[in-house]
């Protein structure tokens, strides 16, 4: 059974700092991995999607890496801003021969960027 | 970009009543929609996969008679929590698939008293 773990559960940094969020998954048989942002009481916004054949994806100040063999992904945020404060969720889509599109989520890392 | 809406955004209901939550894809058609539940400080857990024109596929441990799903059109799926109880209080989020990507709705917060 696929399990996704995110460390740390919460992180508080001063504005301008570069930071890394970690995600690990137990089964390397994945179709893709996705990072989401969730603001309090809100839905999810997709940030980056990495296919299993890819090693990293970049969007603006965000860079996500994927090491499928070790079951790890990192989300790097450069020059953090108070507006980056949110909960960041990692989700994997397991490779399922039956074509399941199920996403398995971690519990998230709550990020606070202090002005 | 693709937009998914949910209605209502929050609802308080009395124990024993039923509540319906709507999920709509606003600018695209979605043959497949997903319903998730999120308890405080917990992961999103997939409840069921909703397929237009056919029966929903429920995850293990999710009661299909309690959580009724109807995907009547390519832009609308509904989740009805029947005979809701306080333990059903949670944040319910839907997503709709367009090509390879799932787009998530803003969520519905349900409080059962």
CB atoms within 10 A of CB B13: 16
Band of pLDDT at residue A92, cut at 50, 70 and 90: very high
Please tell me the predicted confidence (pLDDT) of residue B52. Answer: 85
Task: Kindly provide the residue ranges of all beta strands, DSSP E only, lying in chain A, ordered along the sequence.
Answer: 4-7, 10-14, 19-25, 30-38, 44-51, 56-59, 62-67, 72-77, 86-94, 104-105, 109-114
- 3-state SS class at B76: strand
Interchain proximity B46–A103, CB inside 8 Å? yes
Which sign, positive or negative, has the C-alpha torsion A57, A59, A60, A66?
negative
Mean pLDDT taken over chain A: 93
Task: Determine what percent of chain B is predicted with pLDDT higher than 70.
Answer: 99
Band of pLDDT at residue A20, cut at 50, 70 and 90: very high
Rounded to the nearest angstrom, the minimum Cα separation between B34 and chain A is 9
Of B4, B43, B97, the CB nearest to A101: B97
Tell me the C-alpha distance between A15 and A6, whole Å.
Answer: 22
Whether B79 contacts chain A with CB within 8 A: no
Please tell me the predicted confidence (pLDDT) of residue B58. Answer: 94
**Averaged pLDDT, B91-112:** 92
Structure tokens at A53: 């054949």
Task: Determine what percent of chain A is predicted with pLDDT higher than 70.
Answer: 96
Please tell me the predicted confidence (pLDDT) of residue B89. Answer: 95
Please give the residue that has the higher pLDDT: either A86 or B54. A86
Q: Please report residues of B whose CB lies closer than 8 A to that of A46.
A: 101-104
**Averaged pLDDT, B36-49:** 91
Interchain proximity A103–B102, CB inside 8 Å? yes
Whether B32 contacts chain A with CB within 8 A: yes
Of B43, B105, B106, the CB nearest to A105: B43
Position A41 pLDDT exceeds 90: no
Interchain proximity B43–A108, CB inside 8 Å? yes
Q: Please report residues of A whose CB lies closer than 8 A to that of B41.
A: 107
Give the residue among A70, A50, A69, A67 at the shortest CA–CA distance from A58: A50
Please tell me the predicted confidence (pLDDT) of residue A97. Answer: 53
| 8 A C-beta contact, residue B19 and residue B110 | yes
Identify any residues that bridge with A14 across adjacent strands, giving them in sequence order: A114
């Amino acid at each position: 059974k696929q399990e996704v773990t995110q460390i740390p559960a919460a992180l508080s940094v001063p504005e301008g700092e570069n930071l890394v969020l970690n995600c690990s998954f137990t089964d390397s048989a994945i179709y893709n991995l996705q990072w989401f942002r969730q603001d309090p009481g809100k839905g999810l916004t997709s940030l980056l999607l990495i296919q299993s054949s890819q090693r990293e994806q970049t969007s603006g100040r965000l860079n996500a890496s994927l090491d499928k063999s070790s079951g790890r992904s990192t989300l790097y945020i450069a020059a953090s801003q108070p507006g980056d404060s949110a909960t960041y969720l990692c989700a994997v889509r397991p490779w399922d021969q039956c074509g399941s599109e199920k996403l398995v989520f971690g519990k998230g890392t709550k990020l606070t960027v202090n002005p | 970009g693709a937009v998914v809406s949910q209605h209502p955004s929050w609802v308080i209901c009395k124990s024993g009543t039923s509540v319906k939550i709507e999920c709509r894809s606003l600018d695209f058609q979605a043959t497949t929609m997903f319903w998730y539940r999120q308890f405080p400080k917990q992961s999103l857990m997939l409840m069921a996969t909703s397929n237009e024109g056919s029966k929903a596929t429920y995850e293990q441990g999710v009661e299909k008679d309690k959580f009724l799903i109807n995907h009547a059109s390519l832009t609308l799926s509904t989740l009805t929590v029947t005979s809701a109880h306080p333990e059903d209080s949670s944040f319910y989020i839907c997503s709709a698939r367009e090509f390879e990507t799932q787009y998530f709705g803003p969520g519905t917060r349900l409080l059962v008293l």
